[in-house]
Amino acid sequence: GAVVSQHPSWVICKSGTSVKIECRSLDFQATTMFWYRQFPKQSLMLMATSNEGSKATYEQGVEKDKFLINHASLTLSTLTVTSAHPEDSSFYICSAPPRRARQETQYFGPGTRLLVL
């Protein structure tokens, strides 16, 4: 149990376009999901906390108008990178704590590699 999926697994886009990344909890419900960004050979940096039915909470320094988050259901959160630029190229990973489990445990998706040309 506790499987998290992401789609797409990788995406290449032109500078200035928008890209949507989906994060799904496959066998559990998640009222909260977390979005991370990871640059090569670096650690995971939390970007924002996605809350079902309410606004996302962004970490300091993360532009909320550039990284749009929508948590429309208990199993789906989406991250949209708007007007992507080459510096947005990174590995984006989501995680979710199952509602049935202790609130601390987070399970991660497989990640989405974004390359902006």
Binding site for another protein (CB under 8 A): 4, 6, 31-32, 34, 42-46, 49, 51, 57, 93, 97, 102-111, 113
The residue whose two tokens read 């797409």 is: 8
Using the minimum distance from each CB to another protein, give the nearer residue, 34 or 67: 34
Strands (E), the chain: 4-7, 10-13, 19-25, 32-38, 45-51, 57-58, 67-73, 76-81, 90-96, 107-108, 112-116
Find the shortest distance in angstroms from Cβ 71 to another protein: 11
Give the DSSP letter of residue 29: -
Find the shortest distance in angstroms from Cβ 93 to another protein: 5
Using the minimum distance from each CB to another protein, give the nearer residue, 18 or 105: 105
